[in-house]
Amino acid sequence: MFDVAIIGAGVTGAAIARRLSSFKISVALFERRTDVSFGVSKANSGIIHAGFHHNPSTLKARLEVQGNYLFDRLKAELGFPFRRVGILVVAFSPEELKTVEALYEIGTANRVPQLEIVGRERILSLEPKLNGDAVGGLWAPTGGIVEPYRLVFALVENARANGVSLFTDWRVAAARRADDRWLLVSETGETHEARRVVNAAGLYADEVSGFFGAEEFHIIPRKGEEFLLDKNAAGFPSHVIFPVPARNSKGVLVIPTVEGTMMVGPTAVEIEEKDDTGTTPENLDRVFSLAARMVPGISKRDIITSFAGLRPTLPGDDFFIDLSRKAPGLVQVAGIQSPGLTAAPAIAEYVKGLLQQDGLKLAEKPDFVPTVGHSPKVVEMSFVELDELVRRERAFAHIVCRCESVSEAEVVEAIHKGHITLDGIKFYTRAGMGRCQGGFCTYRLLSIIARETGMRVE
């Protein structure tokens, strides 16, 4: 039996698991998919928001700003790709500048540091790739970019190293209360007991709440289509570029990634289906039309892939994080859409406090290790360093993915850490993420998975 069971291994569940792993309790993390981060988190824009979009009265605003502060320490401990490149909100008219001023007031009320309203000369000096018609905007230096799946992998890897049990391909189908504990039942009939449960199930948090006879709410998927541009393209800005926001969206953005590519998007359309991740030519045209208004140098010719993510929204658009009023021992963590990635470390602290409020005794582990080891990566090495490494391990000389310079040794490491799908290896190593999008390396990757796991390629 576990002291705490967490349902959902996206960035929210992973952050909670990692935080709880520092205490003398038993923790389990349950994920319905084959690997962690394979739900909402894998199709994330990867922005660490500064904290100027949301009203100070909202829970998401408070946790967004707190979470932003925590990322430097997280990066130092876990080593995932993260950079504070800064965010620019670009205005093209006096009317839009009034909205920028309102955003500045919100950010100031949220205690966002270093915010600055800038005029035309200043904004163009900060970002020369912008459209020269810009009249000014908002500069938020504390904004940043992160590789979201690598963040989740690092959080879970560290949580497991500190004692958290991970169960993948484990879909909750029922929950029954017995004395002071919950019996969790999977679709295949497997069971586990836990004294307390955290519902961090993302798009399916409403269904999971129903299994516990807890609060009734309806998650509304908000679909966002995004388009990825080749890292060798010209005209890329060096900062995250926002337009003046729309009613239910921060708008179509131009986003540099930590690995050198560029994302354009997302759209924001509320849908009913929780598995609709298709993209359309119509939205491609619309997204690039809006993005090119801000950054004229970007081009559809540089697209290497497209994808869509679904954000789990609730009416009112705020986070719902609280002890259940109907189901004892259940913590609801629902409606974690943007800026959920930014807020994740702060959400973990908030949930820890709720569990303590519910009576969970938390004593710190004296042997908690907050760091993960950093394995060699061919792409980051000089020829001299690589030559020395190859003398010790020949698999580093076999480059499986030429676009991203990923070696066989790195792929094997990913498999041995539990990433046994093409997507898992892609997100862990970047093999298949380059210009050819796996055109050359997919068969090699399949062959290595088959060799290391015994699975048939089919």
Known catalytic residues?
Answer: 49
- The secondary structure of 341-370, three-state, reads HHHHHHHHHHHHHHHHHCCCCCCECCCCCC
* Distance of alpha carbon 98 from alpha carbon 31, whole angstroms: 44
- CA 134, CA 123: separation in Å to the nearest integer? 8
Q: Which residue has the tokens 């401990």?
A: 77
Rg over CA atoms, the chain: 22
Q: In whole angstroms, give the CA distance from residue 120 to residue 118.
A: 7
Tokens 């580093």, residue located: 396
Burial class (CB in 10 A: 0-12, 13-18, 19+), 325: exposed
User: Which CB contacts under 8 angstroms, 24+ apart, belong to 430-433?
Assistant: 430/259, 430/401, 430/404, 430/406, 431/400, 431/401, 431/404, 431/406, 432/401, 432/404, 433/259, 433/261, 433/401, 433/403, 433/404
User: How far is the C-alpha of 74 from the C-alpha of 155, rounded, in Å?
Assistant: 9
Structure tokens at 241: 């570029």
3-state SS class at 405: coil
Contact yes or no for 338/203 (Cβ under 8 A): no
